[in-house]
Amino acid sequence: MEKLIIGDDLGRALSQELNLPFVSVEGRVFADGEIQPRLEKEEKAQEVILIIQKKQKEDINAYLIKYFLLLRKIKEFAEKTIAIMPYLPYARQDSIFREGEPLSSLYIAELIEENADIFITCNMHEHRKKIGDLFKIPAYNIFVFEDMAEKFKDFLPSDSVVIGPDEEAKAFVDNFCKNFLAAKIVIKKTRDFKTGKINFIYPEKMAERLKEKDVIIVDDIISTGNTILETAQAIKTFQPKTISFAFVHSIFGDKAIDQLAVVNPKKIVFTNTLENSYYTVDIVKSFARNLLEKKII
């Protein structure tokens, strides 16, 4: 067999998009927490694509172990392995802040590239290190904010403002606005590490620029939702017409998304890189398009 896709529901959907054969993964968890993934069947292939989504109730470390075990198993019968991890865990730990800390993002990358020939992820947290700084194998970090902007076609760009909640979000704002030509604002944010209090530094004429506008807050990750809620509450003081959100990864699935209801958002747009019930942007379509456009398969 030339090409084969192995995975869960995302893998099945990707196989349908690319018209490739599919093998599903079953899973067991023993009483002591040990994980035993199992392929529905084992078939030799020249190229295998592995894609697995972290589930809502699944521990992030259990997800990683499952992924590593499957990668190693696939190496036994595939000539080439393309590892697709929709959300890359530990990517935010990309620097050593205190002596004795591991450089976790690099170590995870080293484990992946032991058994993969190509790595693909989506909107990896590229703050201090880019994906090419971590991986020695070909690695791709796919941005999907342009796809997410399509979900705001019912918004008038001239009446909208796209906001990045911190300086790291500038690239996300720019990507979002490629085909959505709205005004852009990036907020500077500082945090008191003793109290946890967040301070915002706004550009000039913030109130004038936001009043009666449709505000869209974009970022790569939402975890508990607390920080982004503080941002939204601060923006509300400038009297925008509406507030909406566009995020790629919802770390805690539905819980974080439910929290955003406090500010009565007009729209919330998420992907399904991590399992949640509210996604409106299907990451599978982005992966399929990029696999073909970049001639990875």
For each of the chain's 297 residues, which pLDDT tens digit applies? Answer: 799 999 999 999 999 999 999 999 998 999 999 999 999 999 889 999 999 999 999 999 999 999 999 999 999 999 999 999 999 999 988 888 888 999 999 999 999 999 999 999 999 987 677 899 999 999 999 999 999 999 999 999 999 999 999 888 999 999 999 989 999 999 987 777 567 677 888 888 898 999 999 999 999 998 877 788 888 998 999 999 999 999 999 988 888 788 888 899 999 999 999 999 889 999 999 999 999 999 998
Sign of the four-CA dihedral 196, 197, 202, 207: positive
3-class DSSP state for residue 29?
A: strand
Distance, CA of 222 to CA of 219 (rounded, Å): 8
Tell me what the pLDDT averaged over the chain comes to.
92
Residue 28: which region, alpha, beta or left (left: phi > 0; alpha: psi -120 to 50)?
beta
CA torsion, points 85, 89, 95, 99, in degrees to nearest 10? -140
Kind of pairing, strands 139-142 and 118-122?
Answer: parallel
CATH fold for the domain made of 3-144+283-293? Rossmann fold (3.40.50)
Q: How far apart are the first and last CA of the chain?
A: 14
* Contact in structure between 6 and 276 (CB atoms under 8 Å): no
Largest Cα separation within the chain, whole Å, is 62
To which residue do tokens 């109130």 refer? 207
One-letter amino acid for residue 27 of the chain: G
Residues of the chain with CATH 3.40.50.2020: 3-144+283-293, 145-269
Query: What strands lie across the sheet with 160-164, from one edge to the other?
Result: 183-186, 160-164, 214-222, 242-250, 268-269
**What pLDDT shows up at residue 242?**
97
* Contact in structure between 125 and 91 (CB atoms under 8 Å): yes
**What pLDDT shows up at residue 265?**
95
288-291 long-range CB contacts below 8 Å, 24 or more apart?
288/14, 288/17, 288/18, 290/120, 290/140, 290/142, 291/18, 291/49, 291/82, 291/120
CATH fold for the domain made of 145-269? Rossmann fold (3.40.50)
